[in-house]
Chain A
């Protein structure tokens, strides 16, 4: 779906180290988590995919087409990005208008846009807030609102930047369902995230960024078994994985269910 070749980027073009250098990645339908320390280049990378930044060197193709000549507006039909800080995204006066804005902007009919918006708001659990001013919502609700705004556009690729920030247990469960629904619809779901247990439970593929480079990439289980790479990237394994390692379980355990199965098998 996405092909990234030889990608490099820096904010200051004349001096200093590059934010990203020499990235080669291919994305298929697998749900993908991008992890790594603050400042590793994760957000910059997804902004490049979305066309908000232009590469210094290298090529990005989405569904076979080079995005170089495309405007952010053209890309908006294919790729959706949910910002880390919802206040950077929200600007309309009601929740419904906010979510309808994207679909209308890509020339969806008004009635269709409304239908998509309400469907997306249902998924986000905000359909009882249609007339609320978005700025009166809590931070966690604003984050869900921004997800709905992007989901309503029905893009093939959806990228989340730190979706679980400020979410309680229930909010995390909701996001889990949203990701699953999007996966079932055949969309490529990608996320930047620091919650490793959430990664372990919900994402098929994990990519570790470190200092602007890809340090590890593969099925999530494989990546969380690469202790050396995790250490170098200053990333912790999921808590459940750490506990299983301490107890000397064979293999890499990714969920409480797997953990319990291992204990039962040993009895």
Chain B
């Protein structure tokens, strides 16, 4: 069974005249890592919210089509039910923080308390994610005293602690330095290896190219394409959707250096290195 299935999804925010999501369909297999790309206002965040049920339950508005999360139809189930299957990390960590907890430790505990995780297990899970995201040293700080980077790590940690089967991340590394974003991508990669399904909206194309199985390209609320990073980033019309290919792909495109025996360009440092070495011989 598909872990996630979106069928003909249409959505319009209240008081808006145009569709934010316009007839989107795609499926995701268990353990896949899917990237969502597209210019700002293409519908990436709205789609993320639709996968966890905030669209339509929280935002209301006009809704058509279906989103099935591990077989549960989002529209006919409550956010509380859906939250057991799928967790979401918000674009702006500031929006995600509850505001009712006085420490990072309690903030991470919040979600676990809500789903009734026994205390001893809670302690163990919190310690694990604090370590995983290197925020142990700020566990007693007030969430609002954290730096942007620390707050973002806390936001991701608090979702991962809930161990959802599907994790949706909306630009989870925007506030992080390159080392920090690499750590997040590696943490996500290791979750994927444990069979967790990952959906991530991101502008860091080099990282998506390196880690994703498939990429969904959105524009104007529509799904333009859904394919491997190589295929997506090799599209000639990519820039017309407001997306720049990874630097490695741009260079290889300019030099006409395709991957051997394919019609696609390299998308990672290693691939570009291999192809360009060949050309220079």
- Residues of A bordering B, CB below 8 Å: 36-39, 43, 84-85, 87, 138-141, 162, 165-171, 194, 196-197, 234-236, 238-240, 242-243, 246-247, 256, 259-260, 263, 266
Contact = CB atoms under 8 A, between A and B. Distances in A.
A21 to B, nearest CB: 19
B39 A239 contact: no
Contacts of A243: 247-248, 251, 269, 272-273, 276
Interface string B201-237: 0010010000000000000000000000000000000
Contacts of A246: 269, 273
A15 B205 CA distance: 42
Q: 10 shortest A-B CB distances, which residue pairs?
A: A38-B149, A239-B247, A169-B244, A246-B273, A168-B40, A236-B178, A168-B39, A234-B179, A165-B174, A194-B177
A258 to B, nearest CB: 10
Contacts, number: 101
Given A36-B177, A38-B149, A169-B242, 10 more contacts: A37-B180, A87-B92, A169-B203, A169-B239, A235-B178, A239-B206, A243-B247, A243-B272, A246-B269, A247-B280
B16 to A, nearest CB: 11
A5 to B, nearest CB: 27
A84 B148 contact: yes
A167 B171 CA distance: 11
Given A38-B150, A235-B178, A260 B251 contact: yes
16 contacts: A37-B177, A37-B180, A38-B175, A166-B174, A167-B40, A168-B40, A170-B40, A194-B176, A194-B178, A234-B179, A243-B247, A243-B273, A246-B273, A247-B277, A247-B280, A256-B251
Contacts of B177: 36-38, 194, 234-235
A139 B91 CA distance: 9
Given A168-B203, A243-B247, A39 B176 contact: no
A243 B150 CA distance: 30
Interface in B152-176: 171, 174-176
Interface string B240-281: 001110111011001100000000000001001100110010
Contacts of B180: 37-38
A236 B174 CA distance: 16
Contact of B255 (A43, A169, A170, A263): A263
B243 A168 contact: yes
A165 B152 CA distance: 13
B41 A138 contact: yes
A140 B251 CA distance: 27
Nearest to B153: A38
Nearest to B173: A194
Contacts of B273: 243, 246-247
A139 B239 CA distance: 22
Size band of the interface chain B makes with A: 35 or more
A235 B177 CA distance: 8
A39 B41 CA distance: 31
Contacts of B203: 166-169
A85 B148 contact: yes
Given A247-B277, A260-B255, A266-B280, A165 B40 contact: no
Nearest to A246: B273
B147 interface: yes
B94 interface: yes
Contacts of B149: 38-39
B247 A197 contact: yes
A196 B181 CA distance: 13
Contacts of A197: 247
Contacts of B92: 87, 139
Contacts of A36: 177
Contacts of B181: 194
B269 A239 contact: yes
B147 A39 contact: yes
Given A194-B176, A194-B178, A246-B269, A259 B251 contact: yes
A266 to B, nearest CB: 7
A169 B41 CA distance: 12
Contact of A37 (B39, B91, B179): B179
Contacts of A168: 38-40, 203, 242-243
Contacts of A166: 40, 91, 171, 174, 203
Nearest to A84: B148
Contacts of A263: 255, 276, 280
A168 B248 CA distance: 18
A108 B246 CA distance: 45
Nearest to B273: A246
Contact of A240 (B176, B178, B247): B247
